[in-house]
Chains A and B, each alone.
Chain A
Amino acid sequence: MIQHRGLWIFIVLLAVAAGVLFTMPVKPVVLWTDALVYVLVVTLAAFFSYVRSKPHLLAPWQQVLRRPLAVAALVVLSAYVVVGLLDSVHFRPPLPQQGEYKGEDKTVHYSVEVLSLLDIVLTPLRNTVERSYSSPLATHLYSKELQQQADGSRVRDYARLKYGGAHLVNPQADYAADIAQRSVNALLQAAVAWAVLVLLWSVFLARRARKKLADFLRDVARGKTALPWRVIFVCVGALLLMITVIIELGLPYHLLGTDKVGNDVLYLSLKSIRTGLVIGTLTTLVMLPFAVLLGIMAGHYRGWIDDVIQYIYTTLNSIPGVLLIAAAILSVDLYIANNPGLFETVVERADLRLLFLCLILGITSWTGLCRLLRGETLKLRELDYIQAATAFGMSNNKIITRHILPNVMHIVLIAVVLDFSGLVLAEAVLSYIGVGVDPSMISWGNMINSARLEMAREPVVWWSLLAALGFMFFLVLAANLFSDAVRDAFDPRTGRGIH
């Protein structure tokens, strides 16, 4: 029990958070994908607390954590994950009670708009909706329009933005100074916050390592600590800087501009993170049972079971994946259109489509891993320790769970981590051709899809595409770097793993 203390603390925290949410005057909404994300988080927490109790499982993870690049990737990934998780707690805020019913009707009516914690955090970004396109950090709209002057005359000019740079009295004169001032402020704030954070953290770490603070800091500066704390601190510093820049520049201006209907692009990009993460992780969750179960069964039992499973995945592989996805998504669309009563809100409808996208992506993508696992099991079952287990009279189920499964887990892990970035990119591609997530759902794919028209107009609107690409690029790059490190640590062929 002691070794699972971390897990219990985590579960209690989750319960407390849920409790707090339920006592708030809001109506919690648990979307399907939310529920699955929670399941995933709990599973992962349980997995890692189990890993911590087994030295042979822990060793390769420690090796991953000793690689500076992997740790940097991990910090970036966790920033994404935090945003994604905040965006996975949904609820409906209560509507303000109508005046005439006050005192008579106590029933609270809830808004049809479903918000997430992230929406609350980003309220200033969410509500500052302009009329149309504006470029990053602009004070005026991107295109000229007819304006009525105070004296009644009509001028065709660039209009002032409602929110972006609204605090400037004289934009032409004050703009550059204001930006510079705010940038310096952001830098200073980040520096102070970073110094405080690093100091507190180091005091904690130094105490745990039973060292003097000065010694510990010197070790960190020279990069001589077991975990690359120097890299972690640098990454955290970069993240802090990003946050202060958003606070200083993103609130009074639109840091990444606005899109066609005036939504803040930074807000859209941040909201897209959840969609990308959900596709990347839930798809794997769907695919794993197929791949692991069928792959191991085919390899272990051989004979007709192997034939049937091989037949299934060969058939599935020979159908073009995109066609299958398009067919499935279109039939889900039809179902949604025929049963509008099933969904209380637009978000719930979009969520169902996202879930089905994950399902169908999962169903089309398990074959590769299944084939790998079949091969590995075929190899393992001839090994002496499996033969010894048979000689002890062990049943097939026990042999599979005790001997085969733990010895193919490294392959599963490597496949899952490698697949993640591919799936994030797949979402963008599928949305681009129109069979991805619901058009009402904010995602990088939809942003890129709408950029198709923006790139064609004159002058070009480039920021939405760039923002989507940038956010996707850093996520995929971090995931790839991390998966490289995981593969190196777990692949027995590199010889640094357990073998």
Chain B
Amino acid sequence: MTSPLLQIESLQTCFATVGGTVRAVDGISLEIQKGQTFALLGESGCGKSMTALSIMRLVPEPAGRITEGSVRLNGDDLLQLPEVAMRHVRGKRIAMIFQEPMTSLNPVLTIGDQIGESVRQQRGAQAVRARVLELLEAVGIPDPAQRYHEYPHQLSGGMKQRVMIAIALAGEPDLLIADEPTTALDVTIQAQVLDLMRQLQKKTGMAILLITHDLGVVSEMADRVAVMYAGQIVEEADRATFFAKPQHPYSKKLFASLPDIKKRGQRLAIIPGHVPSLASEFSGCRFVDRCDDAIAVCRSQSPKWIAAATSGGVRCFKLDAAYREQFPIVEKQVTIPEHTVEPSTQGNKTLLTVTGLKVHFPIYKGLLRRVVNHVKAVDDISLSIPEGHTLALVGESGCGKTTAGKSILQLVKPTAGTVKFSGAEFTALSSAQLRRHRSDIQIIFQDPFSSMNPRMMVVDIIEEGMITQGIGGNAPARAMRVDRLLEQVGLSPDIKRRYPHEFSGGQRQRICIARALAVEPKLIICDEPTSALDVSVQAQILNLLKDLQDELGLAYLFITHDLSVVEYLAHEVAVMYLGRIVEQGTVQEVMENPLHPYTKALLAAVPVIEKSAEGVERSIISVQGEMPSPINPPSGCHFHPRCIQAMPECKTSYPAAHINGETHMTKCFLYE
């Protein structure tokens, strides 16, 4: 066996904080071979990114310190190198790309200059330009000569990430560290970027350390997988073994908590609680509090690393020969209660009817601030939600789905169209009249950190809506109701005198749900409520939403970009593209038999977890390019520039709605 490219041994990185020493990375050992893709998988806060920064020796000092271990790149211990020598390692031998392409580029330099900076160290002025153009070409940026002189704000998110990759490639590194490279991107763009990384790897033979929380991405990209939990690697295996038979209870749970269509109507397996604080002292296994199979020894001793027969290993007592007997032979079958009703169609009364809703934001220009154009964020959408149903509004970022949700709530004034909610016409109400109807529709936001006033206690946050709407009676009655609401969303009433910053993301999202429920709404608009959460916590929230729907007969307008959540939760689906709904129908119709080419492309772009040993050889109907700006949408069908099935008439006129079967609507000339 050839010597590995990167060899990390018992690496430990600590942070001194007010609350004590945080061991962000606690004894990690791994090896990456040349040309290999090594995936580091884990939830947020488990130390993945800190591992990457430790390899690059970019740990923010003096708070953080690498206290132990070695990082060998081709045999040189990087931790022993002087800073001057380290500068030659960074960029040339190890390069890094970050999660957020928006903030990784300097906004006042052209992208040519920025890529040139990393090239310039080696070549002359003329050669730099040629090399930059070559790099831009290599990362698939169309028209590189023109892009050379453009600024980062002129590029879309996917393009920026390509530029970041070009910068990383400039030094022809042996190892590319990609820290959540596609998390901030849409699925179709993610598919393109992942594809690009695979091709580049084939061409240059560099190794990739891929840091991600997404099992789908791991399945598509990785050769080897290591699962991190609370600063340690708990399982390592090659991809096929890992996906066929995960060993560690945590890995198993991760798979079980993924929502998909097969689990419809079932309750998702959840991992209770959340990742423990890394500042605490661990006496036993770090996962013990969330593990169903834990036995006494798990609490008293730290599990050792048990090497597997071929390669890799697991950190769990279950596979330790000395303790294996003590575990119950039949794995404890966790009883998963079913959700009671599949589609709760009891009352088919329509709750919300939206017709021809338009939200156009004017663009002002010139001295007199004349309106020169409009951003057509929402352009003529119609939908209806019956009582107790869930309608999922699906689309990529920037397609106007959030604006649509807010304009239904009248948080953004619609330009045209009607919003009828159980008889009341929301668009025609005065603001005083509207205030009285506010309790009917509530909203849950994406970011659980900005959705609560940090200076109010939980009880005040929940009570606020009740007081404003005059619901819940006098003060003692309200206090009782707050307790009941907290219990309803799975929190203890004891927490009500605490402040939002004391809670984790999932707990905050529960509080937000309680706040929305406080005013007894009939419809809740869920604006990507789980996309900022980890997989295991996402399952908790999805279960909760489903339970509440069964219990209270709530209707949801579920705004999301995550198709697996749609499959799991929704009854009806509407797919949005550039301000318009392009396909609509029941979840079975749309997910199993998508008609519009955009829906097909969206479904195809979602990374699939392949449990076979074969790896990924599926045909990806990838869409080229990115969503155009809603200021100047393409003529005719908005999707035609990216559509592989585009026909001449697509360029000239927008297709009319075509009804297939009873409820399945699509707008595409293919079905005229």
A interface, CB within 8 angstroms of B? 55-57, 383-385, 387-395, 398, 402-403, 406-407, 496, 498-499
Contact indicator per residue, chain B 491-532, by CB within 8 Å of chain A (1) or not (0):
000000001010000000000100100010000000000000
Chain B, interface SS category: loop
A499 touches B501 (CB 8 A): yes
Rounded to whole Å, the gap between the CB of B35 and the closest CB of chain A is 40
B438 touches A392 (CB 8 A): yes
Q: With CB as the reference atom, state the residue of chain B lying closest to A398.
A: B468
Can you identify 17 A-B contacts, CB atoms within 8 angstroms?
A56-B499, A384-B445, A385-B453, A388-B443, A388-B512, A391-B409, A391-B441, A392-B464, A392-B465, A392-B519, A398-B468, A402-B456, A403-B453, A406-B453, A406-B455, A407-B454, A498-B499
Q: With CB as the reference atom, state the residue of chain B lying closest to A387.
A: B411
Given that A388-B515, A393-B438 are known contacts, is A56 also in contact with B18, CB under 8 Å in the complex?
no
Q: A393-B468, A402-B464, A498-B499 are in contact. List 18 more A-B contacts (CB 8 A).
A: A57-B455, A384-B446, A384-B450, A385-B451, A387-B443, A387-B445, A388-B445, A388-B512, A388-B515, A391-B411, A391-B442, A394-B464, A402-B453, A403-B453, A407-B453, A407-B454, A407-B455, A499-B454
Chain B positions within 8 Å of A57 at CB level:
455
How long is the Cα–Cα vector from A394 to B461 in the complex, in angstroms? 13
A393 touches B455 (CB 8 A): no
| Cross-interface CB contact of B501 among A387, A388, A498, cutoff 8 Å | A498
Q: With CB as the reference atom, state the residue of chain A lying closest to B466.
A: A392
Residue B436, interface by CB 8 Å: yes
B interface, CB within 8 angstroms of A? 18, 406, 409, 411, 434-436, 438-439, 441-443, 445-447, 450-456, 464-465, 468-469, 499, 501, 512, 515, 519
Rounded to whole Å, the gap between the CB of B310 and the closest CB of chain A is 45
Chain A positions within 8 Å of B446 at CB level:
384
Chain B positions within 8 Å of A395 at CB level:
435
Chain A positions within 8 Å of B442 at CB level:
391
Chain A, interface SS category: helix
Give the tally of cross-chain contacts (CB within 8 A). Answer: 69
Q: With CB as the reference atom, state the residue of chain B lying closest to A389.
A: B464
Chain B positions within 8 Å of A385 at CB level:
450-453
A392 touches B411 (CB 8 A): no
Chain A positions within 8 Å of B18 at CB level:
496
How long is the Cα–Cα vector from A439 to B490 in the complex, in angstroms? 70
Rounded to whole Å, the gap between the CB of A64 and the closest CB of chain B is 14
Rounded to whole Å, the gap between the CB of A383 and the closest CB of chain B is 5
Chain B positions within 8 Å of A398 at CB level:
468
How long is the Cα–Cα vector from A384 to B444 in the complex, in angstroms? 9
How long is the Cα–Cα vector from A240 to B62 in the complex, in angstroms? 39
Chain A positions within 8 Å of B435 at CB level:
393, 395
Chain B positions within 8 Å of A383 at CB level:
450-451
How long is the Cα–Cα vector from A57 to B457 in the complex, in angstroms? 12
How long is the Cα–Cα vector from A499 to B464 in the complex, in angstroms? 22
B447 touches A393 (CB 8 A): no
Most buried by A among B434, B439, B464: B464
| Cross-interface CB contact of B438 among A55, A384, A391, A402, cutoff 8 Å | A391
Rounded to whole Å, the gap between the CB of B456 and the closest CB of chain A is 8
Chain A positions within 8 Å of B499 at CB level:
55-56, 498
A393 touches B434 (CB 8 A): yes
Chain B positions within 8 Å of A55 at CB level:
499
How long is the Cα–Cα vector from A111 to B468 in the complex, in angstroms? 60
Chain B positions within 8 Å of A403 at CB level:
453
Most buried by A among B439, B453, B515, B519: B453
How long is the Cα–Cα vector from A393 to B469 in the complex, in angstroms? 7
How long is the Cα–Cα vector from A392 to B468 in the complex, in angstroms? 7
Rounded to whole Å, the gap between the CB of B250 and the closest CB of chain A is 30
| Cross-interface CB contact of A498 among B409, B452, B454, B469, cutoff 8 Å | B454
Chain A positions within 8 Å of B501 at CB level:
56, 498-499
